């Protein structure tokens, strides 16, 4: 099972971006989300950024993930 997560773009080089989910950085392909830039939040699934998120929405989702992680 794969989980799509909101990630913040911290660097872009061509069609590849370094994205960050709190505590983790990894590479994602941004060719499916033209116009994204450093500082944007994107939904990453299977190594591809598939949608741009509003910052407020991304932060709310990340907050919910953190609450769920701490509940157990």
The beta strands (E) that lie in 30-64 are given as 41-45, 48-53
| pLDDT bracket for residue 53 (50, 70, 90) | very high
| pLDDT bracket for residue 1 (50, 70, 90) | low
Q: What are phi and psi of 56, to 5 degrees?
A: -60, -40
Computed over every residue of the chain, the mean pLDDT equals 93
Q: Which two tokens stand for residue 31?
A: 């060719």
Give the global pTM.
0.89
Query: How do 24-29 and 5-13 pair as beta strands?
Result: unpaired
Q: Do residues 48 and 27 touch, judged by C-beta distance below 8 A?
A: no
């Amino acid at each position: 099972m794969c989980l799509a997560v909101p990630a913040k773009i911290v660097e872009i080089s061509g069609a590849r971006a370094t994205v960050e989910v709190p505590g983790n950085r990894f590479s994602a392909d941004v060719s499916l989300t033209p116009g994204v830039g450093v500082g944007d939040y994107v939904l990453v699934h299977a190594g591809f950024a598939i949608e741009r998120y509003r910052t407020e929405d991304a932060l709310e989702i990340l907050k919910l993930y953190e609450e769920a992680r701490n509940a157990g």
